[in-house]
Structure 1
Amino acid sequence: MLKKIAPLLLLFLVAACVEDVDFEQAENISISPIVESSLIFFDFPASEFSEPTGTAIVVVGDELELDVFNDEFLRDNLIKAEFFFEVTNSIDRNFRADIIMYDANDQITYAFAVNIMPDGNNEVVTTHTEVFEDDLLEQLKNTVRMELVLSMFPSPSGIPLDENSIGNIKMRSKATLFFQIDNE
């Protein structure tokens, strides 16, 4: 007898739990994901900047291809971007990090600088956030390549750096991308 009633009881429980569902809600979905990605990082010892007089400006550089902005989904749904830079300097010199962005025609789309100060050979942490919204975001979307130029300025005392000089300069950076995806 229980075997005959169990299927009926199960059917009743399943049917009793059904509620009206508004399937049109799915047409108005809007999500706002945030994506983070590493950009540029380096760790240079003081010996990388050796120069015999202590009075020269020493420059090192690197570049990064940014072909992600060619993606149609990204171009259509990106509403804001933030580039965060953290530089740790324990070299007794002033530095400037120039970040230069280029379009497909090798024209500069945007540039900014981060000034990095020393405190003897103690570590000094400098942070900088560059925010891209509205017109600046459109300039960023036209970027295909980013170049970093790190310049070390002369010593105020004229003491040169050599292979035995102590300290490092380190940078780490990330991009935070904010999206608005609407299903309309």
Structure 2
Amino acid sequence: MKTILIFCCCLLLMVSCSEEQDFNQVDDLSLQPSLASSLLYFESNEDTMNAAGTGVFFSEVFTFEAFKEKFIADEVVEGTITYQIENTTSKSLGLLIEFLNEADVVLYQEPFAIEPQPTAALERQVNFGPNGESLEILRNTAKIRISATNEGDGSSQSTLTDPKLVFKSSATVVLNVE
């Protein structure tokens, strides 16, 4: 009797409702992970600006190797760069961000006219890809230059404690992984 019962159970399991498995589904899988990272941070106090007088008080070129890896450069489908600027000084300031290729040719630039305090922090997002600037700018960028100019005077002093210019930037890119 037990043998018949076990035989019937096995028979039922073999003919029960089951769907044939398709292990080739992985071929149809497509992922688009999003990667985020800080990009540049720059800070300068008002005393440094006054010591430099009017004109450029900071200029620096930074190496940018985010797209040096071919896989990343080939698979990026869109990107966003976010800039955040806070000025608590008594100065009108200019800030210029330039994306340069290996030959130091400017591929893209983002200028900022910054009012003296008291002003709200400025945030700007720049999109690259289908709804923005060309992705080729990001793919070909090898260096980023940041230049800051004092558009005001070289002697005024803010009444705030520790007046300074703070610049932050971050980048988010979306990759197509198949």
Same fold per superposition (TM over 0.5) = yes
1:5 maps to what in 2?
A: none
Structure 1 residue 33, shift from structure 2 partner: 0.6
Q: Give the whole-Å Cα distance in 2 for the aligned partners of 1:17 and 1:144.
A: 59
Identity percentage over the alignment? 20
1:177 maps to what in 2?
A: 173
Structure 1 residue 161, shift from structure 2 partner: 5.0
Q: Give the whole-Å Cα distance in 1 for the aligned partners of 2:32 and 2:174.
A: 7
1:139 maps to what in 2?
A: 137
1:42 maps to what in 2?
A: 42
Matches within 5 A, 1:89-128: 89-119=87-117, 122=118, 124-128=120-124
Structure 1 residue 159, shift from structure 2 partner: 4.4
Is the 8 Å Cα contact of residues 62 and 149 (structure 1) preserved in structure 2?
A: yes
TM normalised by structure 2 equals 0.79
CA distance 1:106–1:58, change in 2 (3 Å): closer
5+ residue gaps, structure 1, are 1-8
1:130 maps to what in 2?
A: 126
CA distance 1:91–1:19, change in 2 (3 Å): same
2:68 maps to what in 1?
A: 70
5+ residue gaps, structure 2, are 1-8
1:20 maps to what in 2?
A: 20
TM normalised by structure 1 equals 0.77
The count of corresponding residues between Structure 1 and Structure 2 is: 171
Structure 1 residue 19, shift from structure 2 partner: 5.0
RMSD, aligned CA: 3.2
CA distance 1:31–1:159, change in 2 (3 Å): same
Which portions of structure 1, spanning 4 or more consecutive aligned residues, are displaced by more than 6 angstroms?
Answer: none
Structure 1 residue 78, shift from structure 2 partner: 0.1
Q: Give the whole-Å Cα distance in 2 for the aligned partners of 1:17 and 1:161.
A: 81
